[in-house]
Structure 1
């Protein structure tokens, strides 16, 4: 199948899955939105499960690109990391499949797909992990940190925030203040200066 046609099918699938969820999204509707016959869907993927996984992967790449990192991290790491985490959580509202991935809904919908889903979750941490690595290379992060584990912790914080705000409450006012406080506390704890202070 031509790449453009496959991409069109995945984009259409993403729209329908985002609106209806995995179980309630009919292949017929996805085919209609994509402007192809139902059988054409199965030339692109082998199953509805694979279609969902690939649609999530496509949405994830769009989300990562929308929250891209600056070319260099000359600014203090703390503000950059705090801004990135805030932007990722806020923009997840516009990317329902990414929110579903981060909050475990994709995993719940696809039992037996643990490895591909974990790969997607690792990919979702790409920007945060890259920023942490920059901070480590520049000496701005504590030397005793496992950066992979820190990235997982920060992703869990994003997921918890998305779940909290799934009730329709905006990320603002008192709720935003809680988020900002949590991010600030975590980011400050990563600072290399604190590592130096603990040596005395």
Structure 2
């Protein structure tokens, strides 16, 4: 009797292997054969899951994007600034827990890929801008804070991420509270 393969589970294994390979070798230097070897499957099995290396990158990024959207969906309790602090902490925790996905982001930023990073950033900025708008309406913000500050907050998180990836002395998880102090307490009235 032929062995039954859970197609969804196999695809997940292949995507996880692709993330590890892309993180270790970089997208440009990675081959489908590398991903197959990492996943412990034949090259043809990879092609049953995806049609190309670019589709592997896109699918791996989609895993990251789903995690990012989960963070944005966390409503939490408390004031808008309390929820912003919780969002920053949750985002840093999620990124620190998935360093290979974070490393693949560098390739996404640097390479010409079909991945729409602008939409991901727009979603984060919109969520943060809404929290800032609520905080302003509640009188929690100091003068001059507006929607443009959402891009600065996203940039602060991304900047810490890049430093963590580039410098073994930087621990991303340790930067959650300093980020909250600068990005939340720094806008508080």
Q: With structure 1 as the length reference, what TM-score do the two structures score?
A: 0.66
Structure 1 contact 81–187 (Cα < 8 Å) conserved: no
2:3 counterpart residue number: none
2:10 is equivalent to residue 9 of structure 1 = no
1:153 counterpart residue number: 152
Instruction: For residues 142-168 of structure 1, give each alpha carbon's deviation from its aligned partner in whole angstroms, at most 9, with x where no partner exists.
Output: 7x9774x44433221111112233312
d(CA) in 2 for partners of 1:177 and 1:69? Answer: 18
What is the Cα deviation at residue 55 of structure 1?
Answer: 0.7
d(CA) in 2 for partners of 1:7 and 1:131? Answer: 31
d(CA) in 1 for partners of 2:45 and 2:172? Answer: 41
1:47 counterpart residue number: 52
2:117 counterpart residue number: 117
d(CA) in 1 for partners of 2:20 and 2:132? Answer: 37
How many residue pairs end up in the alignment?
179
d(CA) in 2 for partners of 1:47 and 1:11? Answer: 15
d(CA) in 2 for partners of 1:180 and 1:117? Answer: 24
2:66 counterpart residue number: 61
What is the Cα deviation at residue 132 of structure 1?
Answer: 4.6
1:106 counterpart residue number: 108
Map 1:92-103 → 2, pairs under 5 A = 92-100=95-103
Q: Give the gaps of 5 or more residues in structure 1.
A: 189-193, 195-200
Map 1:127-142 → 2, pairs under 5 A = 129-130=126-127, 132-133=129-130, 136=133, 139-140=137-138
Structure 1 contact 45–51 (Cα < 8 Å) conserved: yes
Match of 2:90 among 87, 90, 93: 87
Does the C-alpha gap of structure 1 residues 187 and 66 become closer, same or farther in structure 2, counting only changes over 3 Å?
Answer: same
Does the C-alpha gap of structure 1 residues 152 and 100 become closer, same or farther in structure 2, counting only changes over 3 Å?
Answer: farther
d(CA) in 2 for partners of 1:11 and 1:171? Answer: 22
What is the Cα deviation at residue 183 of structure 1?
Answer: 1.5
d(CA) in 2 for partners of 1:150 and 1:58? Answer: 27
Does the C-alpha gap of structure 1 residues 97 and 171 become closer, same or farther in structure 2, counting only changes over 3 Å?
Answer: closer
